[in-house]
Amino acid sequence: MEKEVTIYDLAELLKISPATVSRGLQDHPAISKKTKKRIFDLAEQIGYRTNSFARNLRSRQSNTLGVIVQRLDSNFISTVIAGMEDTAASQGYQLIICQSSEQVQKEKSNAKALLESRVDGLMVSLAFDTEDLSHFNAFFQKKIPLIFFDRVMDHPGCTQVLIDNRKAACEATRHLVEQGCKRIVHVTAPLKQNVYVERLEGYKQALADAGLPFREEYVLLGNLRQEDGRAAAAAIVQMNPAPDGVFFSNDNCAAACVVALKAAGFRVPEDIAVVGFNNDPVATVVEPNLTTVDYPGYEMGKTAARILIRQLETGEAYNSHTTVITLPSELVIRQSSLHTGVAAQT
């Protein structure tokens, strides 16, 4: 553990003052080209590295953004984070990432940890069971910009980056209706989060528009994992009369259900048409390929990071009231939903 080189060491070796070194390193305009070159060359040569602790202490900022997500091992989430990282890195910010594992309790401790880390801003997608935002109060009070994405809640001054879940679900369900489906099941997650509430609303809306009845028993709640898809299949198989359409809030779950339904002797889409959500890689692997809502995860990540960084640099967070950015989503029609049997565009 050799001693770290500091600007004082550079200054001494170059026979100039630490202040000049500091300014030179920052490419300050008031320092001569020649001096800068000497500074940089020596710094390079003796392996100087900025002490960000000291710098942050002085400047009162970390150039770091905090991210809290429900789970890291989800295709959708990791795509979002990829977008955030690309944008953040290009602007000189780094990402500290925490997962809540869908537990508000962990979300709380994540928030505390990120607060103490003094992240400059925060991007959050809420856990399944988060019911209020009190654990973010310290951020609100200190006016640390906080952006919600995907799973959001309203809070004055916090921008939300979203898709129109209601509309997407409505379109997906309407598509099933147009394929002739009359008994459409909706498989989703517990209704504590906006995304699931809104998708249910969209589903109901489409039914209502078509004059179809809404039936409580057609809404199946679970965790949207593959096993939940298989469980949904088991439930569907038991229903009498059998449903002729299903709209899922998640592709992975939908795909597993399709496989299980086929194993149980159902034909997809002839007996039962299926629509998923997210446009995951599984959608183009399951047979028939899954009709789904293309969710722009990467774009969402880029957008959230870009807006957050802009708020940091302009200081305009918490100024106006809540801004909602709605990203375009799109129903991608594949074979799993086509009662006509005609292949559509991928």
Q: What does each C-alpha distance from 233 to 21, 39, 172 come to in angstroms? A: 68, 68, 19
Q: Which does 342 bind (CB under 5 to 8 A by kind): a second copy, DNA, none?
A: none
Binding track over 33-72 against a second copy, x by CB under 8 A = --------------x-xxxxxx-xx----x-x------xx
In terms of CB distance, is 26 or 117 closer to a second copy? Answer: 117
How far apart are CB 85 and a second copy at their closest, in Å? 5
Q: Where are the alpha helices (DSSP H) in 15-162?
A: 18-25, 33-46, 52-59, 75-90, 104-116, 137-141
- Provide the minimum distance between the beta carbon of 4 and DNA in the complex, in angstroms, as a whole number: 5
Residues that bind DNA (CB under 7 A): 4, 6-8, 15-20, 22-23, 25-26, 29-32, 34-35, 48-51, 53-55, 57-60
| Phi, psi values for residue 295, rounded to 5° | -105, 120
157 binds, among a second copy, DNA, none (CB under 5 to 8 A by kind): none
* Cβ-based nearer residue to DNA, 60 or 321: 60
Which listed option, DNA, a second copy, none, makes contact with residue 221 (CB within 5 to 8 Å by class)? none
Count of residues engaged in binding a second copy, rule: CB under 8 A: 61
Q: Of DNA, a second copy, none, which one does residue 191 interact with (CB within 5 to 8 Å by kind)?
A: none
Instruction: Report the partner that residue 8 touches, choosing among DNA, a second copy, none (CB closer than 5 to 8 A by kind).
Output: DNA
Please return the burial class of 201, using the count of CB atoms within 10 Å of its CB with bins 0-12, 13-18 and 19+.
middle
Q: Which is nearer to a second copy, 108 or 183 (CB)?
A: 108
Identity of the residue, 21 or 304, whose beta carbon is nearer to DNA in the bound complex: 21
Q: What is the DSSP letter of 315?
A: T
> Which x/- pattern over 72-111 shows residues binding a second copy (rule: CB under 8 A)?
xxxx-xxx-xx--xx--x----xxxxxx-x----x--xx-
Q: What is the rounded CA–CA span in Å between residue 162 and residue 171?
A: 17
Does residue number 264 form part of the binding site for a second copy (CB under 8 A)? Answer: no
Element (H, E) at 176: helix 165-178
CB 61 within 8 A of CB 91: no
Binder of residue 264, out of DNA, a second copy, none (CB less than 5 to 8 A by kind): none
| Exposed/middle/buried for residue 134 (C-beta within 10 Å: 0-12, 13-18, 19+) | exposed
Amino acid (1-letter code) at residue 264? A
One-character DSSP codes across 212-274? PPP-GGGEEES--SHHHHHHHHHHHHH-SSPPSEEEES-HHHHHHHHHHHHHTT--TTTT-EE
Q: Which residue, 13 or 138, is less far from a second copy as judged by CB?
A: 138
Query: HSE of 214 in the Cβ direction (CA atoms, 13 Å)?
Result: 15
Nearest to 297 by CA among 125, 90, 181, 141: 125
Q: Cβ(308)–Cβ(320) under 8 Å?
A: no
Among DNA, a second copy, none, the one that 2 touches (CB under a kind-dependent 5 to 8 A) is a second copy
| Closest CB to a second copy among residues 236, 317 | 317
Cα separation, 270 vs 340, whole angstroms: 8
Q: Single out the residue of 170, 189, 233, 255 in contact with a second copy (rule: CB under 8 A).
A: 255
Binding span for a second copy by CB under 8 A among 12-20, 169-177, 196-204, 250-258: 250-258
Structure tokens at 139: 């951020």
Q: Which residues bind a second copy (CB under 8 A)?
A: 1-2, 4, 47, 49-54, 56-57, 62, 64, 71-75, 77-79, 81-82, 85-86, 89, 94-99, 101, 106, 109-110, 113-118, 138, 141-143, 226, 252, 255-256, 258-259, 262, 281-282, 284-287, 298
